[in-house]
A and B are shown apart, each in its own frame.
Chain A
Amino acid sequence: GGIITQTPKFLIGQEGQKLTLKCQQNFNHDTMYWYRQDSGKGLRLIYYSITENDLQKGDLSEGYDASREKKSSFSLTVTSAQKNEMAVFLCASSIGTVSYEQYFGPGTRLTVL
């Protein structure tokens, strides 16, 4: 088995601030993902990475940057936090693409004051 660790668990920021969320996995999976979860909107893909140093934009990439520093880690940066923004950011990994199961971390809850 393996585990996905997301840090921090809770993140409070100020409007306009640049904020970074981190994700580590020990599954030795090639593919990693970042999703945003808003109440009533499901999960929306922000960025994904098929292998180390690869980055692909998802449906919600505007306002975010990502970095796949090594196979086991994937970071997400909110480039300018929006006032009153509140969401959960979920990291996931999978051994491959298309029909493979994705394993999710517990999430980082972001609040912007």
Chain B
Amino acid sequence: GDSVTQTEGQVALSEEDFLTIHCNYSASGYPTLFWYVQYPGEGPQLLFRASRDKEKGSSRGFEATYDKGTTSFHLRKASVQESDSAVYYCALSDLGTGSKLSFGKGAKLTVSP
């Protein structure tokens, strides 16, 4: 079935560091790809999505480009801030998953001042 594999566990950075969280997917069709962010005590919220090859999603300085050739949707930010500390989830949905989102296991980003 469709699945997402992403950087897991803890990611520790200092303010102004460059961030990359890797996300690779496996899907039988042409999925829509998502990045969600979850702050402590809250539910996940959409950061952005992309539906076509080479489409770039972006929000709040974060960006990712849909790459069908490498089946990837890596999250990047040039200069992280302490306020970016949160858990980041890559997810996909397509006709193969029906109405469902398939989530990666999440990466917890901690940014130190």
Chain B residue nearest in CB terms to A31: B99
The complex places the Cα of A105 from the Cα of B105 at a distance, in Å, of 19
**Residues in B whose Cβ lies below 8 Å from that of A50:** 99
**Residues in A whose Cβ lies below 8 Å from that of B89:** 42-43
**Residues in B whose Cβ lies below 8 Å from that of A98:** 32, 93-95, 97-99
Residues of B within 8 Å of A, CB-based: how many? Answer: 25
Verify if B24 is at the interface (C-beta below 8 Å from A): no
Q: How large is the interface on A (under 10, 10 to 19, 20 to 34, 35 or more residues)?
A: 20 to 34
Verify if A97 is at the interface (C-beta below 8 Å from B): yes
The answer to whether B43 and A92 touch across the interface, beta carbons within 8 angstroms, is yes
The complex places the Cα of A103 from the Cα of B38 at a distance, in Å, of 12
**Residues in A whose Cβ lies below 8 Å from that of B93:** 97-99
B residues bordering A, Cβ < 8 Å? Answer: 8-9, 32, 34, 41-46, 49, 51, 89, 93-95, 97-101, 103-106
A residues bordering B, Cβ < 8 Å? Answer: 4, 31, 40-45, 48, 50, 56, 58, 90, 92, 97-99, 101-107
